[in-house]
Structure 1
Amino acid sequence: MQRYVVIAVGALLISVFIAVRWVAGWWESPLDVPEDGLVVYVEPGDSLSRLSRRLANTGVLKQERLFNWSGRFLGADSRILLGEYRLEAGTTPKGLLELLQSGDTVRYLVTLPEGITLQDALELIQNSDGINPVLEQSDDPQLIALVAPAAVAEGYFLPETYQYERGDSDLDVLTEAHRMMEETLADVWNQRQSDLPYDDPYEALVMASIIEKETGLAAERPTIGGVFVRRLQRGMRLQTDPTVIYGLGSAFQGNLQRKHLSDESNPYNSYRHHGLPPGPIALPGRAALMAAVDPQDGDALYFVARGDGSHKFSATLEEHQAAVRQFQLSRRANYRSAPKGSEQ
């Protein structure tokens, strides 16, 4: 009798050993993930068993119950995190369980180019994959509250590349862009020249947005900043087309006319109103912000587009009028007001 007990116990131990070895092998064996990978989304309310059922239905996970038991035994069933995860070919059950607890979710990128308007930035974000749109327009009350005490939200967002997860909102992305702009604006404001015609950083932001729209050449930004600063210091009007165009909004059809330049009802008409416009006209980048607070010294008070993307700068009205006749009144067929590839 004792002999049979020994044999039974031995057989049981061998079976347990074989089972443990099999489970250990399964635990470290690749799942049936396609070669190009697979994206798994853990949704609100998902449990480990619900997720494993979906994976089993797609053929990725062969041992659904064993995976669930393993998760419960390790306490992982209560620690999986929401989000979108990418399974690479070769992922094991162990790796899957670790991934679901890591929060290492799929990250998407959206780039806000320098010089675009807030409305264009909002539409770009909303058209990005996985974004949850919660904002209506660039004057949405949530954006106004975000930039308070500024009265308008335009310009107060740094053009950069931002990461987000599927399910993040357009407001989430713009909240980060606003935080980055506040940090950048504070930094450049601390590097400003003395005796600039700005009362606060916001006015430097307004100026930077104008500089951003006036040129796509990085080397010209400080020079254009110098022109505008000197004009303000001398009580001259800025007389810059981009401000007028911004004030026209959807009424601008691509052709700036004399009636637009003489329209005093447009608060952004820098041909009719002195000083800075009421607010920014675009999203300026760091280089434009630096050009606003650290403009280049010189005597130029005017500039005109050459037609190759660069500008001719002049110190006197007579020189400027001559440059206008040379570069504007006899435009070439390939005339461009902005550098090739940088039109905004």
Structure 2
Amino acid sequence: MIKRMLKLLVGLVAVGLVIGLVAGGWLGWQAWKFLNTPSESPGREVVLDIQPGETFAHVAVELERKGVITDAEKFRLLGRWRKATGHVRAGEFALNTGMVPDEVLKTLTTGTEMLHRLVVREGLAWWETAKLVEQAGLGSFESFKAAVHDPELLAKHNIQADSAEGYLFPETYMLPKPKGNDARAVVEVMLGHFATAAGKVWPQGLPEPRKLHELVVLASLVEKETGAPAERPRIAGVYANRIERGMRLQCDPTIIYGLGESFDGNIRKAHLLDADNPYNTYRINGLPPGPIASPGLESLKAAAEPEKHAYLYFVSRQDGTHQFSKTLEEHNAAVREYQLRRH
């Protein structure tokens, strides 16, 4: 009787071992298959936007929903095994359903965030730049506006003005999507690029903030008036001569800036006479109260070193260049030739 019971126990243990080995083998196979098989072949591109504070479990579920992985629970176990559940970063990531789970995990923990291209050309006003930023998905118009006018941010970058207009350096940027759709980080990057550019113009050290601001204002006028790059120093010289002689600058782009987004494309006589427009350089003496656009590096150089000459006037030749004059009589003749007769 005892021998029969021992045989039965041995048999049960053997069966259990076999079942355990089979089960273990099956689980091992499933784990190997999950780790080494992409969810789709060929793969497709998927963008995953992880918000700050999202849990690893939520990220795993989202990955399964988007088809990047086949099993959220197994991905969670992989994260725990790799001790990576606390290292997934917030941001926008470019993934592919052809990746195996380890590749997905590595991208989310150590990979580079997806970058968005932002092209800001010379001569844009801050609100025009804000629209480009919003269109690029790099922050809302309102958050860009708030950052541009934030006294704390202006003080941090030593800008002695009520806005960062003129200091939003024109450049082609590749930037990650900001957290919470807040464009403040974009403004910070642009101000940093301005500082780098200014260091090239004044390698021995920047002028004191108030003087620098005046030069940025002048550079913005040069930027808006220049069609031919080679004319920048000459146009800067015209404005420098007029300021030295106490003449009004009579710069049309300043009027347009003062009108803001309401400008319809035509400057009228009423605009020239408008004393309520603080940027109307037909009515005010000297430079306008602030920059009217973002000047590029060459315009900053022109403002820093205007060409020395006796010109006081210039008028468009309608081909991107200007006719420069030393006297009002010469200027009037140039206006008749290049403006009135052509119209």
Indicate whether the TM-score tops 0.5.
Answer: yes
The offset of 1:248, in angstroms, is 3.2
The offset of 1:33, in angstroms, is 7.0
Letter of the 2:293 partner, please give it: A
CA deviation string 1:194-213 (max 9, x = no partner): xx9x9611100000110111
- Aligned residue in 2 for 1:336: none
1:314 maps onto 2:325 in alignment: yes
In the alignment, the residues of structure 2 paired with residue 133 and residue 308 of structure 1 have an alpha-carbon distance, to the nearest angstrom, of 35
Q: 1:312 to 1:69 in 2, by over 3 A?
A: same
In the alignment, the residues of structure 1 paired with residue 264 and residue 245 of structure 2 have an alpha-carbon distance, to the nearest angstrom, of 33
- Aligned residue in 2 for 1:104: 112
CA deviation string 1:116-155 (max 9, x = no partner): 11122223222332534553847x7853442243134322
- Aligned residue in 1 for 2:182: 169
Q: 1:133 to 1:141 in 2, by over 3 A?
A: closer
Unpaired segments ≥5 residues, structure 2 = 1-6
3-state DSSP of counterpart to 1:40: strand
Q: Contact (CA 8 Å) 1:27, 1:94: kept in 2 or not? A: yes
Unpaired segments ≥5 residues, structure 1 = 333-344
Q: Contact (CA 8 Å) 1:204, 1:293: kept in 2 or not? A: yes
Q: Contact (CA 8 Å) 1:81, 1:103: kept in 2 or not? A: no
1:234 maps onto 2:249 in alignment: no
CA RMSD of aligned residues (A): 3.3
Stretch of structure 1 that moved more, 92-101 or 217-226: 217-226
1:52 maps onto 2:60 in alignment: yes
In the alignment, the residues of structure 2 paired with residue 125 and residue 144 of structure 1 have an alpha-carbon distance, to the nearest angstrom, of 21
Q: Contact (CA 8 Å) 1:189, 1:201: kept in 2 or not? A: no
Give the structure-2-normalised TM-score: 0.82
In the alignment, the residues of structure 2 paired with residue 102 and residue 239 of structure 1 have an alpha-carbon distance, to the nearest angstrom, of 56
% identical equivalent positions: 37
Which structure has the bigger radius of gyration? Answer: 2
Q: 1:217 to 1:169 in 2, by over 3 A?
A: farther
Q: Contact (CA 8 Å) 2:95, 2:104: kept in 1 or not? A: yes
The offset of 1:164, in angstroms, is 2.9
Q: 1:136 to 1:8 in 2, by over 3 A?
A: closer
Give the structure-1-normalised TM-score: 0.81
From 130, 136, 139, the counterpart of 1:122: 130
CA deviation string 1:158-198 (max 9, x = no partner): 12223131534122211221232233234424479xxx9x9
The offset of 1:75, in angstroms, is 0.5
CA deviation string 1:203-250 (max 9, x = no partner): 000001101111232222122112212222233222211112222335
Question: Higher helix share goes to which structure?
Answer: 2
